[in-house]
Structure 1
Amino acid sequence: MSFVSQEICVMSAHASRWSLALLMLAAIVVCWGCKTTPVSNRRQLNVIPESQLVSMGLTSYQQILSNEQLSSNQRYIEMINRVGQRIADVVSQEYPSAADYKWEFNVIKSDQMNAFALPGGKVAFYEGIIPVCQSEAGIAVVMSHEIAHALLNHGGERMSQELVAQGVGKLVQFGARNQTAERQDMIMKAYGVGSKYGVLLPYSRKQESEADLVGLKLMAKAGYDPSEAPQFWERFGQIKGSGGPSEFLSTHPSDQRRATALREQLPDALQIYRLEARVRYGIGDPVTPGAAQSNTALPASASN
């Protein structure tokens, strides 16, 4: 056989292997990754089982808390837990898949303006973002939005996209037990945990819109005035405009279009707030003691 013929045979063999790999990848994606988001029914690539995401979320959460100093600010701790439990109660009612979540809410002692929610109900706020929230309703905006990202599997979707882009080999390796460190790095990046744990990956505008819509409904049904949502994002947009550092902004782009879109969704959210919330807390307690409070808690049966 001539040298040219040998080269052709080698190239053909390589091409066959690549074709087989591509066929395997396509089969995995088609058979394993066909899901839709619960809100927009958008087709979503998802090659990681939810049980695995929950397990990864717990491990990552424990690792983060072991490396951080927890806050001793009792007011912050009580507010985060109070708002968190109210939203968690709604999530358990609305999302059967989350009924068995083991919720945890912690405050990390840090000036970072960041917060995150990992699969399985693991939530953390950094002290630096809480003053920007100004009130329980502001905290509810951030928390319900982050929980919505987890419920909608946006982090899992981004992880799946990264795995598929790297090919069949990476998908197989990801399932191996000896890939724990790589798994943790990937989930931390995908869910916007601090930059010290890896490169932050911004959510897509489509994912942000979905999380905005679900988050708005969650906070409204939990009893917090959804009118606070566009106001919070406008405040955060001003921080961005002033050049203030924020890891939260790097994963959650904020601009006037976002606030406008939220205001367009307010009529439906306000109807949920008025008709479906068991208790209406308004904006709740202020973050800073003694600050003005525009609303007080009302039972759902109270007149509008």
Structure 2
Amino acid sequence: MKIKLAICLTVIVLTGCAKSSTGRSQLMMMSDSELNKMGSASFEEMKTKEKISQSIVINRYVQCVANAITVNVPKSAHDGAWEVVVFDSAQVNAFALPGGKIGVYTGILKVAEDQDQLGAIIGHEVGHVIERHSNERLSSNQASQMGLSLVNVLLESQNIESRNTVMAGLGLGVQYGVLMPYGRSHESEADIVGQDLMAKSGFDPEASIKLWQNMAKISKGAPPEFMSTHPSNATRIKQLSEHLPKSAPLFKRAIAPKCTKPKI
């Protein structure tokens, strides 16, 4: 009975005490100021370790797209200027951090065919910041460790011989049953929030679907969806396609920026 109670407490502590813009429950155990400091510190460290692109045309292009996106970010997510850095790397990636930081790797510019697709990428990454996903991720990790520690204490107090086996099983259960789906829900939410954000910023939301079709071509051999922190490309394409009727009207009311993609 005590073991069941501890497992229930673990699940309860992982439920949300806040709401995202999509209505999803969120667990927040850290302040925005703490996250902003962590994001800024991490970004400064990355700039010392990663090669920064010196290409004027590439930086101008990425900055142009980023500027169009960030002007539409709610002040509650970041009130101030955004720092945008292009890293000279073949890595197909981009990110945004609390504190108004955006990093784009030149490798992803080969996958994003135009300004609209790059707008989808930056919109998605900024979507994580808007929804405070880093706070959720850190908070859920802390809460899961607290819950597992509680279970361990109760098992130990009951002198259960198979305690190590039970704990190992619970660890896998938390990983695959809570934290990974938690990560997938973050990605799906950032896709939808990002699609709306790019549309408001004048980028064609249909480009987000094309982007993930491009991603699917280069991501062969990815793990099954249930074993990954990211949704499958097919899932993302389906969700973005279903949301398109809501984001398309936002695009029609917006003014498209003119960001010229250089030859990569």
Report if TM-score (shorter chain) is over 0.5. Answer: yes
Aligned length: 225
- The residue identity in structure 2 corresponding to 1:127 is T
Q: Does 1:164 align with 2:143?
A: yes
* Distance across 2 between alignment mates of 1:151 and 1:63: 23
Question: Structure 1 residue 99: deviation in Å?
Answer: 4.6
Q: Which has the higher contact order (CA 8 A, sep 6+)?
A: 2
2:111 matched to which residue of 1?
132
- What's the CA shift string for 1:216-257, capped at 9, x where partnerless? 01101111111100000011011112x59xxxxx76444222
1:86 matched to which residue of 2?
68
Q: Does 1:288 align with 2:232?
A: no
1:36 matched to which residue of 2?
19
2:250 matched to which residue of 1?
272
Q: 1:121 to 1:99 in 2, by over 3 A?
A: closer
2:97 matched to which residue of 1?
118
* Distance across 1 between alignment mates of 2:260 and 2:245: 24
- The residue identity in structure 1 corresponding to 2:202 is G
Question: Structure 1 residue 285: deviation in Å?
Answer: 2.9
Give the alignment's Cα RMSD to 1 decimal: 3.0
Contact 2:198–2:204 under 8 Å retained in 1 = yes
User: After superposition, where does 1:199-278 map in structure 2 within 5 Å?
Assistant: 204-241=183-220, 243=221, 252-275=230-253, 277=254
Contact 2:93–2:108 under 8 Å retained in 1 = yes
1:295 matched to which residue of 2?
none
Q: 1:29 to 1:286 in 2, by over 3 A?
A: closer
1:106 matched to which residue of 2?
85
**TM-score of the two chains, using structure 1 as the length reference:** 0.66
Q: Does 1:54 align with 2:39?
A: no
Contact 1:223–1:281 under 8 Å retained in 2 = yes
Which of 55, 58, 72 is the matching residue for 1:73? 55
- Secondary structure (helix, strand or coil) at the match of 2:86 reads strand
- Secondary structure (helix, strand or coil) at the match of 2:85 reads strand
Contact 1:83–1:140 under 8 Å retained in 2 = yes
- Secondary structure (helix, strand or coil) at the match of 2:219 reads helix
Q: 1:287 to 1:236 in 2, by over 3 A?
A: farther
- What's the CA shift string for 1:195-216, capped at 9, x where partnerless? xxxxxx8963322221111100
- Secondary structure (helix, strand or coil) at the match of 1:90 reads coil
Contact 2:58–2:261 under 8 Å retained in 1 = no
Contact 2:14–2:144 under 8 Å retained in 1 = no
Question: Structure 1 residue 149: deviation in Å?
Answer: 0.9
Question: Structure 1 residue 135: deviation in Å?
Answer: 1.0
Question: Structure 1 residue 167: deviation in Å?
Answer: 2.2
Percent of paired sites with the same residue? 34
* Distance across 2 between alignment mates of 1:220 and 1:46: 28
Contact 1:138–1:228 under 8 Å retained in 2 = yes
* Distance across 2 between alignment mates of 1:128 and 1:145: 17
- Secondary structure (helix, strand or coil) at the match of 2:204 reads coil
* Distance across 2 between alignment mates of 1:220 and 1:122: 21
Question: Structure 1 residue 114: deviation in Å?
Answer: 1.1
Question: Structure 1 residue 68: deviation in Å?
Answer: 1.3
- The residue identity in structure 2 corresponding to 1:83 is V
Question: Structure 1 residue 26: deviation in Å?
Answer: 10
**TM-score of the two chains, using structure 2 as the length reference:** 0.76
* Distance across 1 between alignment mates of 2:47 and 2:231: 26
Q: 1:147 to 1:203 in 2, by over 3 A?
A: farther
- What's the CA shift string for 1:65-88, capped at 9, x where partnerless? 111110112222111111111111
Contact 1:149–1:155 under 8 Å retained in 2 = yes
Where does structure 1 lack aligned partners over 5 or more consecutive residues?
A: 1-14, 171-200, 245-249, 290-304
In our comparison, the structure showing a higher alpha carbon Rg is 1
- The residue identity in structure 2 corresponding to 1:257 is T
- The residue identity in structure 1 corresponding to 2:92 is M
- Secondary structure (helix, strand or coil) at the match of 2:251 reads helix
- Secondary structure (helix, strand or coil) at the match of 1:120 reads coil
